[in-house]
Amino acid sequence: MPRPPTIPLIDWKAVYESGQDYATWITGGEAPDNRHKMEALREAQALEPQALGFLAALPRPVHVIAIAEDWCGDVVRHVPVLQRLAEAAPNLKLRFITRQQWPDVFTRFLTNGGEAIPKFVFLSDAFVECGSWGPMPAPLRDLIARGKACGNLAAARKKVAALYEADGNRRMVVSELLQLIDIAVSLEP
């Protein structure tokens, strides 16, 4: 029986180091109107005291690679949350890349076989891949998948929009990102 193909190893440190910091990424984007929206969302993003304490006390660095382009609505919604977390955590190191810059990386993170951004890849201090997130919170991804399955994507998108509206402080996103950060800084299983 033939062996299954092996996915090529990724030099995560090289990918991370090739990325841009937030300030460079946001000023170099394609959609200036979205830049203003993201900055407003980032400034308005509140974090609970427990989250702030956790982020301030990270015991070692966590590296995050954000595959993001500013023309995308989900990027506009979610990158400000991740950036706000990084601002609250001296040990949360964030870099931005594009799909075109690292196609081999991006194809590892397709959503149900399709291209969707943002994708946030969480790496330990030793640049070991520990998890990924995106393009939206898990319950919303499930709704989109259900909409595709039943042939009513429009209804699924309406439900997603309503859930986004109801979660103005993006608590679902914060919770899922904090969980991935916790995994990446784990000192034991």
pLDDT digits (tens, 9 = 90+) for 150-162: 999 999 999 999 9
Q: What is the pLDDT of residue 28?
A: 93
Calculate the alpha carbon distances from 88 to 32, 42, 49, 92, 166 in Å. 25, 12, 11, 8, 25
First to last CA, the chain: 35
**Domain spans of the chain?**
12-184
Mean pLDDT confidence for 99-108: 92
Q: What is the pLDDT of residue 93?
A: 98
Of 2-11, 13-22, 27-36, 112-121, the poorest mean pLDDT is in 2-11
Q: How confident is the model at residue 134 (pLDDT cuts 50, 70, 90)?
A: very high
Q: What is the pLDDT of residue 131?
A: 97
Q: How confident is the model at residue 170 (pLDDT cuts 50, 70, 90)?
A: very high
CATH topology assigned to domain 12-184: Glutaredoxin (3.40.30)
**Is-contact 76 37, C-beta < 8 A?**
yes
**In angstroms, rounded to a whole number, what is the distance separating the alpha carbons of residues 31 and 72?**
9
pTM, whole model, 2 decimals? 0.93
Q: What is the pLDDT of residue 113?
A: 81
Mean pLDDT taken over the chain: 94
Q: How confident is the model at residue 55 (pLDDT cuts 50, 70, 90)?
A: very high
